[in-house]
Amino acid sequence: MISKKMQTALNKQINAELYSSYLYLSMAAWAHSQNLSGTAAWMEVQAKEENAHGMKLYGQLLERGGAVTLEAIAKPPAAWKSALQLFKAVAEHEAHVTSLINGLMDVAIAEKDYASVEFLNWFVKEQVEEEANAALIVAKLEMVGDSKSGLLMLDGKIGKRGQS
């Protein structure tokens, strides 16, 4: 049986992951409005991943005998000034999610909930990858600068994410 403290923390993280999915859908919509179809596709893949993360937490909570409590999902931003600003927001958001995952791990350790520690290790590793991917795209967009052709080339490359 999972502790009430761990249950509460996991429920909060479910909401955070579903918010992340919602945020990336908003980012995808903005990218579509800017004719950045590759960026939109990248964001849509990201939205699906974040939803899957929420469902992974949901399943873990139920498997451990906890109660799932779903809360309202906050409204995400809807506009950014540029693709660079968009991906800087992605990088900042992923850093925030990393801090949330670290906080979950702190709760699991304090509660001596070794099953949750083991489960959360996957999320810790995932966040390293998420932050690295966002940072790489930010760096490339900074290299491109104001070059519209560079932006379009990078947008095409970004759009190949998730394709076999």
CB burial of residue 142 (10 Å; 0-12, 13-18, 19+): exposed
Tell whether 123 is covered by a domain. Answer: yes
Which residues form the domain of 43? 4-158
Query: Any idea what the CATH number is for the domain that residue 46 is in?
Result: 1.20.1260.10
Prediction pTM value: 0.94
Determine the pLDDT at residue 163: 62
How many residues are recorded in the chain?
164
Domains contained in the chain, number: 1
Q: Which residues contact 128 (CB under 8 A, 6 or more apart)?
A: none
Determine the pLDDT at residue 161: 79
Angstrom distance (rounded) from CA 132 to CA 15:
23
Concatenated DSSP letters for 109-145? HHTT-HHHHHHHHHHHHHHHHHHHHHHHHHHHHHHHT
Tell whether 89 is covered by a domain. Answer: yes
Cβ(117)–Cβ(105) under 8 Å? yes
From the first residue on, what is the mean pLDDT of each consecutive set of 10 residues in the chain (164 residues)? 96 98 98 97 97 98 97 98 98 98 98 97 97 97 95 94 62
Determine the pLDDT at residue 135: 97
Tell whether 163 is covered by a domain. Answer: no
Tell whether 164 is covered by a domain. Answer: no
Angstrom distance (rounded) from CA 77 to CA 14:
19
